Structure 1
Amino acid sequence: MSEPRIAFVAADSEAAQRALTELEAAYPHVAPEEADVIVALGGDGLMLETLHRFMSNGRDGCGKPIFGMHRGSVGFLMNGYGPLGLVQRVARARPVVLTPLLMTAHTRDGRTVEARAVNEVSLLRETRQTAKIRIRVDGVVRLDELTCDGVLVATAAGSTAYNLSAHGPILPLGTQLLCLTPISAFRPRRWRGALLPRGAEVTFEVNEADKRPVSAVADYTEVRDVVRVEVRDDPDTRLTLLFDPEHDLEERVLKEQFLS
């Protein structure tokens, strides 16, 4: 079997750029558009950007597989860095296929914006005043008004990111669930969120949108001044991450639940 054509992408940090120079000198490589596998050098932020750049469109399978190596800050989605034996590592890597969320955001000035999120879709207040948000699940009002700094919907893959910082639960990767998690809820004060089936559609309606403006963020795509946001699973869009066999992503997710 022929060796996979590899392309390298790297963050702007000094460590990532040094690694890029080292690997491009050591291995044959092609442009990302011509590659079979993308090797991403950086942290989880770069991994998210690379996943978005090379995700499938529903017709071409699982998109380009991405093998990340940690040369950044947070490296939860990255393998360890090592310049030796890269081709062999890529060849024996194990794939993990993820599906993102699809956000459809409607703004006060009548625009409709779609964006996808690997980790989470979050709504956040824009001013000093708290947001007031109505929450529907599959068309049924489940919370008439949440007074808060914000609220988010997270995938299992994203449950260890912003969701965990907002005191949401960690979900194993194979779980067909979504986390619905409030961010600094003021009323109802005791509401801690909910677990929803992966196929559920969540609709957020912003109460008093003129007085209490809210933005919606899908990973790193921000839409300002929203009045309604729909979030659902997007099973036709798939992303493939490659991990060293000893880097068990499910095991890492499990370990996160026992850290102090």
Structure 2
Amino acid sequence: MTSLKFHFYASQKEKAQKLLASLLTQHQNHNPEDASHIIVLGGDGTMLSAMHQFMDTQKKLYGINCGTVGFMMNPYSSTGLDAQIETGHSVTLNPLKMDVTDQENNSHVAHGFNEIYLFRQTHQSAKLEISINQDIEMKNLVADGLIVATPMGSTAYNYSARGPVLPLSCNLLALTPLNPFRPRRWHGALIKNDQTIRIRVTSPTERPVSAVADNIEIRNAKEVIIQHDASHSIEIIHAQNSNLEEKILAAQFHT
């Protein structure tokens, strides 16, 4: 059996810190560059932060839930970490990339593993034009905003906004409007993840909009181009009793 080397990446919350202290009595905490696996202690927010920090490092992430929902995490088990990881299932995830042009014509790039969304900055609704592969599909969406979600992110903000849950292995993205006013009956769309989404803010000064990739916010966006980015990746391991595909399936029947 291969010798595993762990680096522990823990939330500052009490539950995560207590578990960290316990695990450090059993395992050495290696530097990230020397570790084979990053052990993430916390909730989904902590896991997302770790995914961004260790993207493209070839380090495998294994999460232990010390938060509330912990959708991307594994339950704590007294079984040794080595055994849980060796018998677990791994999934490789690619992020979405957003290229943002703001009102000052500055360019910004950010990545999101769960979703990229646009949201109004004031009490006024956003006005958005949506193009897919250079073709304008919706000239005027008036809404609080718009979510573009990956399959993994489809159970998060997207699902709360009544967007569809997507199987992890499908090559689709969910476009879900946030409280649409016009067109009132539009509930969103599914598109292939090899297509380019261009969102233009049609009233950027009067109705300013933020563009957000996971927890990275760019304010006063004027245009946002969103693409699946296969050049970046992260590998996550799930224990045998915590299969991510099964969690996504179950989420569709959760009430």
| Corresponding residue for residue 49 of structure 1 | 49
**Per-residue deviation, 1:28:** 2.1
Deviations 1:92-113 (A, max 9, x none): 2211111110011110012111
Q: Structure 2 CA distance, aligned partners of 1:162 and 1:111? A: 28
Q: Percent identity?
A: 39
Matched, 1:183 2:183: no
Deviations 1:160-196 (A, max 9, x none): 0000011100000011100011001000000000000
Aligned length: 255
Q: Structure 2 CA distance, aligned partners of 1:22 and 1:112? A: 45
**Per-residue deviation, 1:81:** 1.2
Structure 2's unaligned 5+ residue stretches are none
Q: Structure 2 CA distance, aligned partners of 1:130 and 1:201? A: 24
Q: Structure 2 CA distance, aligned partners of 1:174 and 1:14? A: 35
| Corresponding residue for residue 187 of structure 2 | 192
Q: Structure 1 CA distance, aligned partners of 2:179 and 2:2? A: 53
Sort the Cα spacing of 1:111 and 1:83 in 2 relative to 1 into closer, same or farther, 3 A: farther
Matches within 5 A, 1:17-32: 17-32=17-32
Write the letter of the residue equivalent to 1:192. H
| Corresponding residue for residue 224 of structure 1 | 219
C-alpha contact 1:213 1:225 (8 A) present in aligned 2: yes
Write the letter of the residue equivalent to 1:64. K
| Corresponding residue for residue 160 of structure 1 | 155
Matched, 1:208 2:207: no
Matched, 1:75 2:77: no
Give me the TM-score of the superposition, normalised by structure 1.
0.96
**Per-residue deviation, 1:239:** 1.1
Secondary structure in structure 1 of the residue aligned to 2:139: strand
Deviations 1:19-52 (A, max 9, x none): 1111112112201222110000000000000000
C-alpha contact 1:22 1:83 (8 A) present in aligned 2: no
Q: More displaced, 126-135 or 26-35?
A: 26-35
Secondary structure in structure 1 of the residue aligned to 2:155: coil
C-alpha contact 1:23 1:83 (8 A) present in aligned 2: no
Structure 1's unaligned 5+ residue stretches are none
Matches within 5 A, 1:7-156: 7-56=7-56, 63-156=58-151
Write the letter of the residue equivalent to 2:17. Q
Write the letter of the residue equivalent to 1:49. S
**Per-residue deviation, 1:230:** 0.3
Secondary structure in structure 1 of the residue aligned to 2:152: coil
Write the letter of the residue equivalent to 1:76. F
**Per-residue deviation, 1:82:** 2.7
Deviations 1:218-242 (A, max 9, x none): 0000000000000000011111000
C-alpha contact 2:89 2:243 (8 A) present in aligned 1: no
| Corresponding residue for residue 237 of structure 2 | 242
| Corresponding residue for residue 5 of structure 1 | 5
Write the letter of the residue equivalent to 2:94. T
Q: CA RMSD, aligned part only? A: 1.0
**Per-residue deviation, 1:83:** 4.6
Q: Structure 2 CA distance, aligned partners of 1:152 and 1:166? A: 9
Give me the TM-score of the superposition, normalised by structure 2.
0.98
Write the letter of the residue equivalent to 1:7. H
Q: Structure 1 CA distance, aligned partners of 2:108 and 2:33? A: 26
Matched, 1:257 2:242: no
Write the letter of the residue equivalent to 1:28. Q
Secondary structure in structure 2 of the residue aligned to 1:3: coil
